[in-house]
Amino acid sequence: MRKFRKNVAVFIDRDGTLIEDKGYISSPEQVEFIPKSIDALKLLKSCGFKLIVITNQSGIARKYLNIKQLKAIHERITSILALNNIKLDAIYFCPHHPDEKCLCRKPNIKLALKAAKRFNLDLKKCFSVGDKITDVIFGKKFGGKGILVLTGFGKKEKLIQRPNYIAKDFYSAAEWIVKHAKKI
């Protein structure tokens, strides 16, 4: 397996990309991984990519869940992944309502910049994978590549910006990333 630079990350959307999008989930019991998404993480990790989940969670601002519930959901995700010998490098979330116009809500790149500083990432070599066009725009705004998956809302998205790749699911996106990422 080819190994890529340690300063390259794949930014992964949570709902609709990694786990099933069931609306504003508020309980760890609602976590259900999309088929082959765990395999996608294994493939990317085996190639040396940093795995960073970045998720908009306006349900917090809308009072559908609180930070404690969100942490329990993320603990459930990380514990399931640990059983599969996968460790995410980080999970970042935006708790704000879209009307707040914050800088951390995708497609804004504040959380990518935070991750870049923490992990010494070369953002121009990084990827963003998600089921919404905001995930694609996010990747392009930080100078990397944006991939749209057709799970979650992906099939219904209007392509107001052209993705670097459209994948049927996260696993197909991971295969494309491995094929197209530059070697050391």
- Annotated catalytic sites, by residue? 13, 15
3-state SS, 118-171, equals HHCCCHHHCEEEECCHHHHHHHHHCCCEEEEECCCCHHHCCCCCCCCEEECCHH
- Tell me the C-alpha to C-alpha distance, in Å, between residue 43 and each of 95, 120, 172, 177: 30, 22, 11, 10
